[in-house]
Each structure stands twice: as structure tokens, then as C-alpha cells.
């Protein structure tokens, strides 16, 4: 990995699930998931997001014991093997988040933004962990059934502001919060494009914006690529655009190409070099 200007952070996806939409079943074995996480870190991921429950449209909920059985050996294994990445737990169960932070995870990525489990905000506050607050319309079983908004950006902005205020009231420091408009979570192709186009309006809320377009269905619709693995170029394009519009945290499966693309984009858009001042008499 080069040490170019890194004012962006890549979150590599470590799914320990049989049914995730793009890599379900590939890393169900803990050792395979740990090796995959370490590989993503070597490719440039500064955060590893470990998840044991798919949030794809129509996904069935996973019982707590099963989710713990999937994620805990992976979190423990990553840290035992000396991972220097920040470990994130992708869960909406406070019991899973609590065990994960005890084991050393320091970011809680709850796609319900603390609406799913009444104890979640207290667990995050108590641990002093970072958190990501993401917008989702409804729940994964229903969210893609004809989603409707009168004003997609305005409604999601209001939602994120309300969730941020809720988190702060629960004792979470504002500087620990990331915001995510939730690409693909109860959105049509046009909604997703509008969110990407107007990402700057979320950046204006004052917290780092996380964006998760990786291999998602809307990219397949736009490109005609049915297989999620074939959506890497489309993923890169959306992440470059999102960087340019002000997002700084990028949740992806394909870390190496996104890291290269963002390194070049960052060097171009936010050059780290300051031109030496020439004094003229
Ligand atoms: N997308 C997915 C899961 N978690 N978290 C955040 N904050 N933002 C996202 O856009 C996001 C997320 C869906 O991707 P994946 O984990 O690959 O699929 P699955 O939920 O089927 O496991």
C-alpha cells in the first residue's frame, strides 16, 4: 500500500453469512472470513465491517445465538492475528454489539439507526464506540416494495438529523457519529442516483458521510450486469463520484480497485501539496 494522501477511509465488507446478496456463503467459515478480512486490510481497508446477518431485500432475521456464533470468532481472530484495522460490527442487535465491543470492536454499524433494538444506543454510549446511522425505509423484508418519497433528499436528511439528536441524547458524542443515506435500502434506481447526485446536502450536516454502493442491484440495472461480482467498475465509478461530492468513508467488497481509484481522485481533487510561497519584492 502506498502512503498517498488518505483523507478517505475504506471500510472492507466481511460478511459471515450464507445469504448475503453478493458474497453469501463464501466466508461462512471463520478462518476463511479472518483471512479475507486481513487481505482487505492489506489492500487498504482501514475499517473491517463484520456482519452475520444479511440485510438484502427479503432476508430473514437471524437468531441472536447464530449471529454470535458467526461473528465472534471472526472479530476475535482478526484482533488476535494483529489486525490494525478498526473492527466494526454490522448488527442491529444490542446483545451482539455488546459482545463485539467487549471483544475489541470499536464501531457499531446498525442499519436501523437505533430504531430496531431499544438498548442499542446505550450499548454504544457505554462503550464509547463510534457508530454509523443509516437511513432505511421500513425493514429488509419490505423495503423494496414500491418505495415512495415526496422529497427523497429532504426526508432522509431530516431522518438523519433526528437520529443524530437521538444518539447525542443517549450519550453518544457527536464526533463518534457517521451518517449514511442508505443506498439501496428502500430506494428505486432513481432515488439512489438522486442521493449520489446530491450527496453534498448530507455532508452539510457536519458529520463524515459513509456511502455503500458496492455491487448493489441499482448498478446491475444501470449496466445490465446481473452478477454482483461483475459490478466492480460501476462500484468504482460511484465511489469516485461520492468522494468528489464529499463522502469520506466507503463501504466496499472490492477494496484494491476502490483504493487505487480514490487515491488518484483524492490527489486530484484535494491535493496535499502546498505550493511554496514565493516572495516578491
Ligand atoms: N449495505 C449493506 C449492509 N450494510 N451498512 C451501511 N452502513 N451502509 C450500507 O450501504 C450497507 C450496510 C448491504 O451490503 P452487504 O453487506 O454486502 O449485503 P448483505 O446485507 O446481503 O449481507
| Percentages of the chain per state (helix, strand, coil), in multiples of 5 | 45, 15, 45
The verdict on the CB of residue 235 being under 6 Å from ligand 1 is no
The verdict on the CB of residue 92 being under 6 Å from ligand 1 is no
Q: Which listed residue (99, 157, 187, 251) is catalytic?
A: 251
Strands, sheet with 130-134, edge to edge from the N-terminal-most edge strand: 177-180, 130-134, 107-110, 86-90, 47-51, 9-15, 249-252, 210-211
pLDDT in tens, 153-194: 999 999 999 999 999 999 999 999 999 999 999 999 999 999
The verdict on the CB of residue 134 being under 6 Å from ligand 1 is yes
CA 222, 227, 232, 236 torsion-angle sign: positive
* pLDDT given at position 280: 44
* pLDDT given at position 248: 97
Phi, psi of 34 (to 5 degrees): -65, -45
CATH number of 9-269: 3.20.20.20
Considering the entire predicted model, what is its pTM? 0.94
Known catalytic residue: 251? Answer: yes
Interior angle at CA 14, CA 18 and CA 134, nearest 5: 100
* pLDDT given at position 4: 47
Q: Which listed residue (216, 231, 245, 248) is catalytic?
A: 216
pLDDT in tens, 130-142: 999 999 998 777 7
Residue 150 CB coordination number (10 Å): 6
Domain ranges of the chain: 9-269
Known catalytic residue: 216? Answer: yes
Interior angle at CA 191, CA 189 and CA 195, nearest 5: 120
Report the residue among 47, 90, 136 best suited for mutation to probe ligand 1: largest number of ligand atoms under 8 A from its CB: 90
The verdict on the CB of residue 90 being under 6 Å from ligand 1 is yes
What does the pLDDT profile of the chain (281 residues) look like in tens digits? Answer: 444 447 999 999 999 998 888 888 888 899 999 999 999 999 999 999 999 999 887 788 899 999 999 999 999 999 999 999 999 999 999 999 999 999 999 999 999 999 999 999 999 999 999 999 999 998 777 777 788 999 999 999 999 999 999 999 999 999 999 999 999 999 999 999 999 999 999 999 999 999 999 999 999 999 999 999 999 999 999 999 999 999 999 999 999 999 999 999 999 988 764 444 544 44
Amino acid at each position: 500500500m502506498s502512503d498517498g494522501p488518505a483523507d478517505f477511509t475504506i471500510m472492507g465488507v466481511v460478511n459471515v453469512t450464507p445469504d448475503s446478496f453478493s458474497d453469501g456463503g463464501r466466508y461462512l467459515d471463520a478462518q476463511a472470513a479472518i483471512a479475507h478480512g486481513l487481505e482487505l486490510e492489506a489492500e487498504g481497508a482501514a475499517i473491517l465491517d463484520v456482519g452475520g446477518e444479511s440485510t438484502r431485500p427479503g432476508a430473514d432475521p437471524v437468531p441472536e445465538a447464530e449471529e454470535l456464533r458467526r461473528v465472534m470468532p471472526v472479530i476475535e481472530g482478526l484482533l488476535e492475528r494483529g489486525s490494525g484495522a478498526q473492527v466494526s460490527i454490522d448488527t442491529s442487535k444490542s446483545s451482539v454489539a455488546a459482545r463485539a465491543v467487549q471483544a475489541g470492536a470499536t464501531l457499531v454499524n446498525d442499519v436501523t439507526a437505533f430504531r430496531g433494538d431499544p438498548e442499542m444506543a446505550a450499548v454504544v454510549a457505554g462503550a464509547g464506540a463510534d457508530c454509523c446511522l443509516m437511513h432505511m425505509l421500513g425493514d429488509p423484508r419490505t423495503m423494496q416494495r414500491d418505495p415512495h418519497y415526496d422529497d427523497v433528499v429532504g426526508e432522509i436528511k431530516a431522518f438523519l438529523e433526528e437520529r443524530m439528536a437521538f444518539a447525542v441524547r443517549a450519550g453518544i458524542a457527536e464526533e463518534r457519529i457517521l451518517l449514511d443515506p442508505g443506498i439501496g435500502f428502500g430506494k428505486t434506481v432513481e432515488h439512489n442516483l438522486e442521493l449520489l447526485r446530491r450527496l453534498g446536502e448530507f455532508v452539510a450536516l457536519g458529520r463524515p458521510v459513509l456511502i455503500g454502493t458496492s455491487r448493489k442491484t441499482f448498478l446491475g440495472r444501470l449496466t445490465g450486469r446481473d452478477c454482483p461480482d461483475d459490478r466492480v467498475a460501476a462500484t468504482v465509478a460511484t465511489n469516485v463520484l461520492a468522494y468528489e461530492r464529499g463522502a469520506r468513508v466507503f463501504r466496499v467488497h472490492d477494496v484494491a480497485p476502490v483504493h487505487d481509484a480514490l487515491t488518484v481522485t483524492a490527489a486530484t481533487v484535494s491535493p496535499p501539496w502546498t505550493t511554496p510561497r514565493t516572495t516578491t519584492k
